[in-house]
A and B are shown apart, each in its own frame.
Chain A
Amino acid sequence: MWDKFKGDPLMGFIFVIFGLIFLVPGIGYGLSSPGGLPGPGAGFFPTITSALTVFFGLWIIYDGLKKGSVDYFGQDPEQRSNFKIIAVVCAAFIAFLLIWVYINFFLGIAMLSLFYNFIFKRTWKFNLIFTVVLTGMLYVVFERLLYIQFAL
């Protein structure tokens, strides 16, 4: 029974929640301007758009339950196993962000590149050359030429 809710109805539900999160404070911002100033208030526009988001979210839930939803992730076992890779990729990305914030950006990028190439099963030679070229180019173009500071 729960299977019916997988996919589109779940997404539709997320849209409804999203809309509600904006709708409630939106009404609080006031639908007309304070002090008799002309024009609608700060809450006018977000109230309308978030209400419509809720509306279409509900429509998606309805369509999803009635007509069946799009198959989000497919049945192919080879593809589903890619989920693991994506999870590792995301975790590595978070690690990269932490290295950037606490240590150094270029170190982080280099580690990211080394790690990703490793996961994707590239040869060590390719991995090292690619990482050096990538980090080098980023350093030259961004930090030297454009004066963009990556240090936070």
Chain B
Amino acid sequence: MDMSLWWDSFLAILTPEVLMFNAAGVLIGIVIGALPGLSATMAIAILTPITFWFDPSCGFAMLIGVWNSAIFAGGITAILINTPGTPASIASTFDGYQMYRQGRGGLALGINVIYSAIGGIISTLFLIFLAFPIASFTVSFGPTEYFMLALFGLMMMISVSENNVVKGMAVGFAGLTLSTVGIDPILAVKRYTMDSTSLAAGISFLPVMIGMFGLGEVLNQMYEYKQSTAGSALEMLKKASAKLGRILPTWKEFKQFFRPTVLAGAESTIIGAIPAAGADIASIICWGQAKKLSKNPDEYGKGSAEGFAVSCTSNNGVLGGALTTMLTLGIPGDAVTAILIGSLMMYGMQPGPKMFTEDTGFVMQIMQLMILSNIAIVVFGLLSAKMSAKILNARPQTVWVGVTALCVVGSYALNNSFSDVLLMAAAGVVGFIFKRGGFAPGPFILGLLLGGMLESNLRRALVMSQGSLDIFFERPVTLVLMILIALTLCFPLIKKAVLKRRKAA
């Protein structure tokens, strides 16, 4: 790594224009990321043509700013209204919203800012120092490894089942079944489509998530609202959030979070580097893993600040990983990196191994822009945290109307599709009923999200091996993942056995 080149490209970034573009990108990203249904991809697709009028450094400063901050901002709505602003923030709803209900919303917002930035920075460090080894490892991932990854993610269904595992499993398998609606990924046959083209496109995951988590929660609040106790509940919430001084975690908490979040950052970078595995599965896997390894696993899902910090780190940590694969191999890991590759090509650069030798300066600038964006997130994020906290004081009825409108618009905006709005509304009603009956929505969402990945990779692997299951045992990485899954399943049993022995001794 040429230090003088590093320094030169860094100075080129510190110009007011680049900083301004970066700041603009971060601010735009905060708005877009917070609105459910609007994705970073959409924002970047629209901004990209505009960036061509400017210098590559300025253009990329803006795009990278948007990317990082949109993922961070998805956590804001996860905290405030239980609806992830982007799929990457699903795991953030597990603990974030509970923290808000417990009057610790300010802390949640602060943790979101800091740990998202930490996640982004950790993954950029991996990018800077370990780009090539990571990329060559993850690119060897074949269908069997993807299958194991999806299976791993699905195991979290059990962790997320809240109190009743039987109900969680029923709901989870229902989600998995729904994920098969549409066109078969291997044979291109229509399944359960009943001659409707909308159904042929499948059950779109995002509207269901927005409906279940957002609208469902609104309906539930409407039901539980008691005029008589409303006054005092509001007073309590106001008092708790007035103690907003505590947006930042205490030093003790910081030390406690250190190990799980650094681990999550590393894991999510690697998962992000796997082509087509994104922030949603990364944050779920990291959260589940952190829960298993934590000293306070029972708090996870009930407002654990540690769990929430892990989810924030892991969804931003994916970005460095995705960039790793994009820059070293020229392969897009997701829609955003695909657009960024297109941008680079318009500037006359070719992402791939050649870029590291021919355009080293710009590669370094991209890495520095990542770090810069995350610092900007801390600055703007903390400022906006104070503002978002004001929303905590709003009356529930205001929130209900606003969220309903947002859910409608968000689910439509995704694909300009009215049927998505209907889907969202239906999911909202189902989510309400689930909530009343103690059925956790998490496994359902997981099943719907990961079902496709699970099924298509299983069948793809079998196509490649001509139907033989041996392929699952011939590949070392698959075997390692299989053992990890088995361990995760047996962990609680092992723990019990060890504890029993300790008691007996």
Contact = CB atoms under 8 A, between A and B. Distances in A.
A86 B219 contact: yes
Contacts of A5: none
Interface in A99-152: 100-101, 109, 112-113, 116-117, 120, 122, 130, 134, 138, 142, 146-150, 152
Contact of A117 (B191, B397, B447): B397
B177 A22 contact: yes
Given A42-B187, A49-B177, A53-B174, A11 B412 contact: no
Contacts of A83: 223
A62 B451 CA distance: 27
Interface in A38-90: 38-46, 49-50, 52-53, 56-57, 59-60, 63, 69-70, 72-73, 76, 78-79, 82-83, 85-86, 89-90
Contact of A113 (B405, B422, B447): B405
A86 B463 CA distance: 50
A69 B115 CA distance: 40
A93 B170 contact: no
B170 A60 contact: yes
B412 A150 contact: yes
A145 to B, nearest CB: 8
Nearest to B454: A45
Q: Interface majority SS on B: helix, strand, loop or mixed? A: helix
A70 B225 CA distance: 20
B46 interface: yes
A15 B174 contact: yes
A134 B227 CA distance: 26
B438 A70 contact: yes
A146 B437 CA distance: 39
B467 A39 contact: yes
B191 A29 contact: yes
A34 B439 CA distance: 38
A117 B308 CA distance: 34
Given A86-B222, A134-B405, A150-B412, A18 B455 contact: no
Contact of B463 (A26, A39, A89, A101): A39
B180 interface: yes
B397 A122 contact: yes
Interface stretch (B18-26, B343-351, B353-361, B413-421): B413-421
A37 B189 CA distance: 14
Given A38-B467, A134-B401, 20 more contacts: A29-B191, A37-B187, A40-B458, A40-B462, A41-B187, A44-B459, A45-B180, A52-B169, A56-B167, A76-B226, A83-B223, A86-B222, A89-B222, A97-B425, A117-B397, A138-B405, A142-B413, A146-B413, A148-B413, A152-B418
Sort A-B residue pairs by CB-CB distance and give the 8 closest, nearest first.
A56-B170, A39-B462, A38-B467, A120-B397, A46-B180, A49-B176, A53-B173, A42-B184
